[in-house]
């Protein structure tokens, strides 16, 4: 039997022109802010992680200045590249090293990482890597992590 490396959907990430407005909007939909951080090396002045009411998925929100891997290809030759709000999808993995090898084996293109990042206060240590999927989608693989304010029962 093959070891199950990919656990499930973790979060989608988005950029927004009005971070607080987006936070307020998702709070109204039942999400709650569970962590916040800055990463100046990536142009991130403020980012937040918001947990869904079912405690099994999250939304990661950045402002527009965040320099993060994003999809941005035109659909037709000569079409202007437009980057929308969706930045990437993220999958939780049990073993980042093995999952990185597997995703490349099945056709993804390696873009960045693995790397270790310290996010926010209290600091949350995350291990991740970034890939491009077969349709050009940006996929983050994230070693299983819990944020300080996650509710019990979180993935």
- The residues spanned by each domain of the chain are 6-71+81-143
State the CATH class of domain 6-71+81-143: alpha beta
SS3 41: helix
Inter-residue contact 128 to 119 (CB < 8 Å): no
Other CB atoms within a 10 A radius of the CB of residue 87 amount to 22
d(CA 9, CA 12): 8
- Mean pLDDT comparison of 11-20, 68-77, 135-144, highest-scoring range: 11-20
Q: Convert the pLDDT of each residue in 49-64 to its tens digit.
A: 999 887 888 889 888 8
Mean pLDDT, the chain, integer: 82
Instruction: Flag whether the pTM goes above 0.85.
Output: no
d(CA 119, CA 85): 22
Q: Is the dihedral of CA 27, 70, 134, 2 positive or negative?
A: negative
The DSSP bridge pattern shows strands 58-63 and 86-93 to be unpaired
Provide mean pLDDT across the span 8-15.
85
> Would you state the structure tokens that stand for residue 54, as one six-digit string?
């079912």
Checking if the pLDDT of 155 tops 80, the result is no
């Amino acid at each position: 039997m093959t070891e199950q490396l990919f656990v499930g959907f973790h979060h989608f990430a988005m950029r927004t022109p009005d971070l607080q407005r987006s936070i307020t909007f998702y709070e109204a939909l039942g999400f709650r802010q569970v962590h916040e951080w800055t990463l100046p090396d990536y142009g991130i002045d403020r980012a937040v992680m918001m947990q869904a009411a079912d405690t099994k998925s999250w939304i990661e929100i950045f402002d527009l200045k965040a320099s993060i891997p994003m999809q941005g290809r035109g659909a037709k030759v000569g079409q202007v590249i437009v980057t929308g709000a969706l930045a990437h999808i993220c999958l939780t993995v049990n073993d980042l090293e093995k999952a990185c090898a597997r995703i490349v084996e099945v056709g993804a293109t390696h873009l960045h990482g693995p790397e270790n990042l310290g996010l926010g206060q209290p600091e949350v240590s995350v291990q991740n890597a970034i890939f491009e999927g077969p349709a050009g989608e940006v996929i983050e693989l994230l070693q299983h992590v819990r944020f300080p304010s996650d509710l019990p029962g979180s993935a």
